[in-house]
Amino acid sequence: MASRKSTARPKSAKPDATGPARSRGSDRRGNGDELHQSAGGRHPVLTTNQGVPLSDNQNSLRAGERGPSLLEDFILREKITHFDHERIPERIVHARGSGAHGYFELTRSLKKYTRARVLTEVGKRTPVFARFSTVAGGAGSVDTPRDVRGFAVKFYTDEGNWDLVGNNIPVFFIQDAMKFPDVVHSVKMEPDRGFPQAGSAHDTFWDFVSLSPETMHMVMWAMSDRTLPRSLRMMEGFGVHSFRLVDDKGRSTFAKFHWRPKLGIQSTLWDEAMKLQAADNDFHRRDLFEAIQSGNFPEWELAVQLFTEEEAEAFPFDHLDATKLVPEELVPLTVVGRMVLDRWPDNFFAETEQVAFCPSHVVPGIDFSNDPLLQGRLFSYLDTQLSRLGGPNFHQIPINAPRCPFANLQRDGHMQMAVPKGRVNYEPSSLQGDSPRATPGGFASHATPLDDGAKGRVRAGSFADHYSQARQFYRSQSAPEQAHIASALVFELSKVGTAHVREAIVGHLRHVDPALARRVADGLGMTALPPAPPAAVKPQDLPPSPALQIIARMKDTLQGRSVGILIDDGSDAAALKAVRTAVESAGATAVIVAPRLGGARLDGGRQQAADGQLAGTPSTVFDAVAILLSEEAGKRLAREAAAVDFVRDAWGHLKAIATDDGGRLLLKAGGVGKDAGVVDAGDTRAFIKAARTRQWAREPKVRTLA
């Protein structure tokens, strides 16, 4: 692979021309191929709040192309500060979340790379609080929309709090924090109408995407099944950015952090996710709560990718670009520990709502890279907490307070809850024998050489390839997963009322994969493919990465999942016992569903209580179902809409179905046909085997995909 240093910066591309409806005038692209739009005509000059005209609203001020962002950038600070304070007191993004307490246990020391004790002391258990969240919706929205999920962990280490703040996707939409308010504004409810809530299927988001080719890699992930997790317990987490690990001699190694769920990755189908919104707005929160309460504690492995500056220089991409990932085939993962969540919060507001995560919270031995998106987040998160939690003393709220001793000379301020004592609140001083002092063993930034370029609002040429990893992601997927991505794009773009935006997106897709572009164009009824916009860098055909799939990596297990068993009066008691025993032996939860909450009288006369009433417990909330009915009950429920929907949805959502003779009458009413995943209830071994996965071969029988 060629060194990035030997790669010439791409020349500025010609203006994108996707038809007269774009009406860009003197639009131009910059070094990294980001779009610059110029004032003129009806477009006024963009200024700061003080009326200062802006020459560049795409790039923060940096010390050279790949250097750090500069504090003197008053434009970035004003833009981010205003954005951070737009909502009070709800979080602007990640407002709807669920959290839990637990611990992190290190299983492999990284002492060779870092002096951070949380990553060097094998066997030590460090308390943590983890919060999972949707991004776009408000606190009152639902758990299961198509959306990125936040994945944030607060480590209460002996050296202070370390916040590893990430998502369930390893890349992001944008490359520079200057554009963060814009991408969030675009995906939120449209300001003139107040909808849609918690969804990206509308004009403003896709308009932003169409004008920002750097988003295309993240778009592929967002349109995949990754944004439809079956459970918070069954999704991966990523730190997104490259961080630095620094050893006791000041030597640095880059690190990317990954969380891998013990139960494996699981996702729902799009139709299933939409029906889950109606079935249970709190589906993910309830699932996490019930798992912890039952003692089935969620668990993740923490893994790292480690690489040197010299190795990074040889990558065919820039690892400081947050729209890029480091493929596992290029830098394998090393598992170093595990996180177990074993306690639900005592008070949801006091803990889950008031917890404050900041990427700037690191401990000695962990440091930052020059990723321009990370550099902006270091400021943004802290600034947000000042508004949301009442002032600079938010760290004194119990959920945010360090578990180790802490002392400083910061005083007073809104919501001061401590009572600092002593005469001295400054340093240096000589009037108080116990005032806090700095220590040579404390946090020290890595002595990173700065880029020799001039400071300026620039985007590195190494950030200009926007399509290669998007292509790699799509082509790495299995056939069903590719179909889901294409269908998701068709669905989302069908909600976009502006024709030139739809056409522009399909044009970008031609760079990702021509066959994908054709599938989406056909799904939208386009008679011809729109032109592809100019690309600053010709997309590469990177090798497929199996690690990017979901289906092939699903674990062959029912552990941690649930099976619904539909019964009614006259159901076979022996069959119920056999199915229930098999399900629980496989590590899943058996849930009894009946037309009445009081349950049903089985064929032997025993009354069997129900865990859920049929009308309020649809099959969408289960991973597989069993239908155990007498012939009379089968005929009766064949006329009951909720029962017919129960089997029809299980069939349509590709779930395994076990049934007896009475149940087959209901299956017939629901249009359920013969299939490898429909088995006799008496063959519990075959049922458990089928229930461990979706019946992907069935999908073409039940829905039309793009």
Instruction: Write down how long the chain is.
Output: 706
Active site residue 296: no
CA–CA separation, 70 and 375 (whole Å): 9
Q: Provide the H-helix boundaries in 242-358.
A: 270-279, 283-293, 309-313, 348
**225: phi then psi, degrees, rounded to nearest 5:** -70, -5
Q: Is the distance from CB of 368 to CB of 246 less than 8 angstroms?
A: no
**452: phi then psi, degrees, rounded to nearest 5:** -85, 5
Would you call 128 helix, strand, or coil by DSSP?
Answer: strand
How far the first Cα of the chain sits from its last, in Å, is 36
Q: Is the distance from CB of 195 to CB of 189 less than 8 angstroms?
A: yes
Active site residue 167: yes
* 316: its two tokens: 């065919």
Report which secondary-structure segment, H or E, holds 89: none
* 91: its two tokens: 């979080």
CA–CA separation, 594 and 599 (whole Å): 6
Would you call 589 helix, strand, or coil by DSSP?
Answer: strand
Pairing of strands 456-457, 366-368: unpaired
* 320: its two tokens: 């400081």
Catalytic-role residue among 31, 59, 94, 361: 94
Q: Looking up tokens 């200062």, which residue turns up?
A: 52
Q: Give 696's DSSP letter.
A: G
3-state secondary structure 94-120: CCCEEEEEEEEEECCCCCCCCCCHHHC
Pairing of strands 562-566, 589-594: parallel
CA–CA separation, 686 and 656 (whole Å): 10
User: What is the crossing angle of helices 573-585 and 684-691, to 10°?
Assistant: 40
Catalytic-role residue among 31, 161, 167, 370: 167
Active site residues: 94, 167
